[in-house]
Amino acid sequence: DFGVDHGGSNDILSHSKSKTHMKNLKSVEGSHTLDLFCAPATDLNTIRAECLMVSYIIEHDLPLLSSDHLSELIKITSGLKKFACKRTKTTSITKEMAKDCTEQFVSNLQKVPYFSVSTDGSADSGFKKQLYPVLVTYFNEDKMQVVTEVLSIPSMSKDSTGANIFELIKIELEKYSLDFSKVICFCSDNAN
């Protein structure tokens, strides 16, 4: 850092000839860019193959652990040298795909005139929190049928009273900007 308030462009010229500047210039010339330390970008065919493998695992409800073996099999049989999609990468791709599916589902849900909500708390008495999957049923115009999909699976550590369960569902609907006035039906097990 140096000032230019005294001599303006002359200050820049005199700084460029100073010993400090010359020393820093040599230092920069001898350094390398970070590109040398980063792995080259994977080609689109490999990325596509990895996403298709993850889709296969999800669609057939296989454990994510199976990707450790399936990844090696695909690498050998496909000829894609950079194919690598074991458990950790498969988990990350799954989470990204889930975000995309949720966004699409919520977008569809925001367009419908009404929908119903249902939930039932988990019965695990050993845990301090209970899971309350929030399911939404609506008419999907693209599929031309009534569908039920999981909106979210929030947990609750409070007592499972009707008021607390209502508040939990209300928070979930607000989180996805869903209009509570569109709810025409609520279903639950053993509801008072």
Helix, strand, coil % (nearest 5) of the chain?
Answer: 50, 15, 35
Q: Looking up tokens 């669609």, which residue turns up?
A: 59
* Total count of residues recorded for the chain: 192
Note down pLDDT in tens along the chain; length 192 residues: 667 777 777 888 888 888 888 888 787 777 766 655 555 556 888 999 999 999 999 999 999 999 999 999 999 998 888 899 999 999 999 999 988 888 888 988 999 999 999 998 876 656 678 889 999 999 988 889 999 999 999 988 888 888 898 999 999 999 999 998 999 998 887 655
Q: What integer pLDDT is reported at residue 63 of this predicted model?
A: 94
User: What are the residue ranges of helices labelled H in 60-128?
Assistant: 67-78, 87-111
CA angle (91 as vertex; 89, 97 as ends), nearest 5: 100
Distance CA 159, CA 82 (A): 51
Distance CA 25, CA 33 (A): 15
Q: For residue 74, give both structure tokens.
A: 């695909």
